[in-house]
């Protein structure tokens, strides 16, 4: 038995009023769907100069994570000292994801000083490197 990854929700009168999608499906389509939803809801698009984050790559890394420790969301800038316990949760954001791959690399841009913070995840731990911004 396979479950549909989404469902149309109906009110007491049987009228459709919303859509539920599974967390797994949302993780898969979020990067593409969210901008469409925001635009439809009349919310402001992100400014042009803000680069899109490769969130699908991050989600893949999290989904296929097989190292003997949990994938954490901490990021710390070795240049200006900015630090986050969850890079996706800060408001305003301190770090933005620049690159990510299944090999365990996650690269962030510090929003304060524009340094690049690279986290390389190995079996025996995480190696973090900060490279100052160069014009
Ligand atoms: Zn910084």
Same domain assignment for residues 130 and 93: yes
Ligand 1 centre distance from Cα of residue 45 (Å): 25
Same domain assignment for residues 100 and 121: yes
Sorted by sequence, the CB contacts under 8 Å of residue 88 that are 6+ apart come out as 73
Cα–Cα distance, 89 to 86 (Å, whole number): 5
Asked if the model's pLDDT at residue 42 lies above 90, the reply is no
Domain total for the chain? 2
| pLDDT of 1 | 45
Q: Structural domain of residue 118, as residue ranges?
A: 53-135
* Mean pLDDT across 16-28: 87
Same domain assignment for residues 62 and 120: yes
State whether residue 92 is helix, strand or coil.
Answer: coil
pTM score: 0.64
Look over the chain and give the mean of its residue pLDDT values, rounded to a whole number: 90
Of 45, 62, 78, the last residue of a domain is: 45
* Mean pLDDT across 100-109: 96
Same domain assignment for residues 95 and 116: yes
* Mean pLDDT across 46-50: 58
Ligand 1 centre distance from Cα of residue 104 (Å): 22
Ligand 1 centre distance from Cα of residue 130 (Å): 9
Ligand 1 centre distance from Cα of residue 10 (Å): 48
Same domain assignment for residues 66 and 91: yes
Asked if the model's pLDDT at residue 43 lies above 80, the reply is no
Same domain assignment for residues 135 and 87: yes
């Amino acid at each position: 038995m396979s479950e549909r990854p989404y469902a149309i929700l109906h009110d007491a009168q049987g009228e459709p009023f919303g859509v539920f999608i599974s967390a797994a499906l949302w993780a898969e389509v979020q990067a593409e769907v969210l901008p469409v939803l925001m635009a439809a809801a009349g919310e402001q698009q992100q400014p042009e100069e803000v680069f899109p984050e490769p969130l699908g790559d991050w989600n893949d890394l999290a989904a296929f994570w097989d190292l003997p420790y949990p994938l954490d969301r901490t990021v710390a800038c070795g240049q200006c000292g900015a630090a986050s316990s969850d890079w996706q949760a800060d408001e305003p954001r301190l770090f933005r994801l620049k690159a990510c791959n299944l090999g365990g690399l996650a690269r962030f841009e510090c929003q304060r000083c524009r340094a690049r913070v690279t986290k390389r995840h190995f079996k025996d731990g995480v190696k973090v490197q900060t490279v100052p911004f160069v014009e």
